[in-house]
Amino acid sequence: MNAIVRFEADSVVADKRYLIAIYVNNALVSQSISHASLINTLSLVISDERYLEKDDYVEVFVYPNVGAATDTVDISGITTGTETYFVIRLVTKKGAKQ
């Protein structure tokens, strides 16, 4: 699993923490925290490898810990798949011959 979330430069708040996390079946399995030292574009990246069972569900959450003074931090809306995306790749099926 790989995910990248890119925040737009004009909405990033300096000196604040930004968190990205992967949840499987509503349980945290991986997280990463970044710190924005400047008001500039910020990308959060996370990767994890997990065995998943049938009917498991995977979610990515992003939390900008910017405080009450800021209503929102904008996520890049570019849809080319290079700035904000989430990918799950099947490596092997459980029990499959290798």
How confident is the prediction along the chain (98 residues), in pLDDT tens digits per residue? 998 888 887 788 888 888 899 999 999 999 998 888 777 788 889 999 988 888 999 999 988 876 666 667 777 776 565 678 788 887 777 665 55
Residue 46 lies in a domain: yes
pLDDT of residue 59: 92
- 14 is a domain residue: yes
List, in order, residues 6 or more apart from 93 with CB less than 8 Å away: none
Look at the chain and report how many structural domains it folds into.
Answer: 1
**98 lies in a domain?**
no
Task: Tell me, yes or no, whether 60 lies in a domain.
Answer: yes
Under 8 Å between Cβ of 46 and 85: no
Full residue range of the structural domain in which residue 73 is found: 2-87
